[in-house]
Structure formats: structure tokens, C-alpha cells
Amino acid sequence: MRWCKSTKVIFVVLFSTAIFTVTIHKVPYGHFKDLVNNSMVERFLHGEPCACMERCLAASDDMWFAEHFKKDVPPVLSLNNSAFPDHIFKWWQSLQSRSKANYSQVITELFSVIPGEEWYRDDGPSRCRTCAVVGNSGNLLGSYYGPIIDNHDFVFRMNKAPVEGYEKDVGSRTTHRIMYPESATHLDNNTHLVLLPFKTLDIQWVTSALTDGSIKRTRFKVIDKLQANKDKVMVMHPAFMHYVHNTWLHIKSRRSYPSTGFLVLIFALHICDEVSVFGFGSNSKGTWHHYFEKTPKSFKRTGKHSGGIEHETILELQERKLIDLYTGW
């Protein structure tokens, strides 16, 4: 069995967990309940940002993190925040072929189908939301991370990455599936769909795919009628994508944009209190491939994504103890 987050700290984490468990079982339930209640009161009185015992991202005093993390940027579109500045709109439009669609009308149609609320703006001293961001790297194979991943409150997966047959390494739970039309897959009734809108047509597609199925092609043929719970669908805000592009990656080129994996990671930093990252990077042999490929094809080139900068930023987050990065096999 191989559970490798960091060879320097994994044993400390495991032993700390064991000690904590033993200690709790020695405390009478009534007394322990009082301790919990008193601790909660203390958090409210002293303005603690969350209820997590290990870390609260919102409480970080790391100056590097403060320079990058902009709490006021909305992660998802809502009825009240769908308008955004012209320079951001122009950047977003530059990612796609010019659209003749009326954006305001597209948004109106979208929120006639899915909820128009602002999701996950509920941080505070009573919340401890733990999140697992699960990438698709082949370093998950043989990792036995499944139980660790499933133990998180939210489990984010990307595109069509399968779970069945890989449970011991990638877990069995999925609370959020992040995808775009060309990478879409059907979902069960309990999974949230988070759409990455790289173009106006993507927003039009999700509206269509949840209703009449009139859009059958975007860049190429896509699922026209999507199985998903309409009440659990949200759309990542184009302004949030711009913020990740500019503030986290400092990308100057308009032709480049963040990868799905990196967008999801920063998304998690904004809506979670503790973030663990799995399935990013190469395996122990330095090979880059997907865990679900029958015949692994090594990849390293990242196309329009700044893979090198993203990788360095993820390592920086780990070095500063802002995330837990599980490096796999």
C-alpha cells in the first residue's frame, strides 16, 4: 500500500491522526460535547474564519498568498453578478471564435433553466469544508488514495475521468464534475455539474443540453441531451477565469489560458477551507499520462496552457502549506 503525500510528513500525519483518535475516545461524550461547544463559542467570539483544526485558508497570513488570492472575485455566475467589465469580456471573447449571440439574452435563458443563486459564499467560523481536487495523472495508479479522497466533503473530478474500476486509487465519490461541452459526460442526480465556459456557445450548450437538445455541435459533435440534475448545475464565472489567468499565472498572451485542472484548484481554494490535491504531475518515473488509458501515451506539451507556470505554482502552494499535494506512485 502506497499513500504518499510528502515523504517528509506523511508519517507525522498518520501518527497524529492515530493519537487524536485515541485521545477522543478517552474523553467522556458529555465532556467532549462541552469542549466542542466551548470551542465553537470561542471561534465566534474571537472571529475565527473557520472551524477546521489543521488550517483555514481564509486565515492565512502568507503574503505571497495574499497577493494572489482575491476573495471578492465570484467563482460562479449568478443572476446578480453576470455583468462584468469590458476588458474582461474582451479577453473571454478572445478565447473563441467571434460570437454573434447576445450575451444578456444567453444569461437570461441560462437562469431560466438552472438556479441563479451565488453558490458557496457561506464561509465562517462554523464551517470546515474539506475538498479533494482529483486530477487525471497516471501517478494515481497503485497509490491507494481512494479512502483518503472519499473522506473529503467535496470531491472534484474533471471531464470524463472514470471512477469505476479505479476506486482503490481514485475513490468512489464525486460531488462535482467540472467539464466543458467537448469533454462532457452524463451525471447522476447527486453530482454537481460545473461548466467551464470557454466561449459563449458553451453557455448556450448547457442550456440546450438540459432542455431541448437543439445544440448538437460546438467545436465538434457533443452530447445534445445531458443527464444531470438542473438544480445542481453552475457555470464558472468568466471573470474568475480571467483572474486565474492574470493574477495567479501572470500570463500576458491572449492566446493562452489556464488548464481545467488549475482552474479547478483555484476554484477549490475559494470555496473550501482545506484543499488536498491528487493526480497532478508525472509519475515516479517522470512519465506524464492519464490513469485510465489502456495504452498510456506520454504527454508533456500543454498546448495553450502554461503548464510549467502552473506546476511551479502548485509546488509553491504546497511549500507554503496552503494545500496538501499527494504525489502518488
Q: Looking at the annotation, which residues are catalytic?
A: 257, 305
With beta carbons less than 8 A apart as the criterion, state whether 250 and 310 touch. no
Q: Give CA–CA dist 152/133, Å, rounded.
A: 10
Residue 166 has which C-alpha cell?
479505479
Backbone φ and ψ for 177, nearest 5 degrees, come out as -115, 120
Handedness of CA 122, 124, 127, 132 (dihedral sign): positive
Q: Give CA–CA dist 275/130, Å, rounded.
A: 6
With beta carbons less than 8 A apart as the criterion, state whether 130 and 53 touch. no
Non-local CB neighbours of 237 within 8 Å, separated by 6+ positions: 73, 74, 75, 76, 77, 81, 84
Q: In 89-205, which ranges are E strands?
A: 130-134, 154-158, 176-179, 192-195
CA dist 84 → 163, 237, 251, 260 (Å): 37, 10, 20, 22
Beta pairing, strands 274-278 & 130-134 = parallel
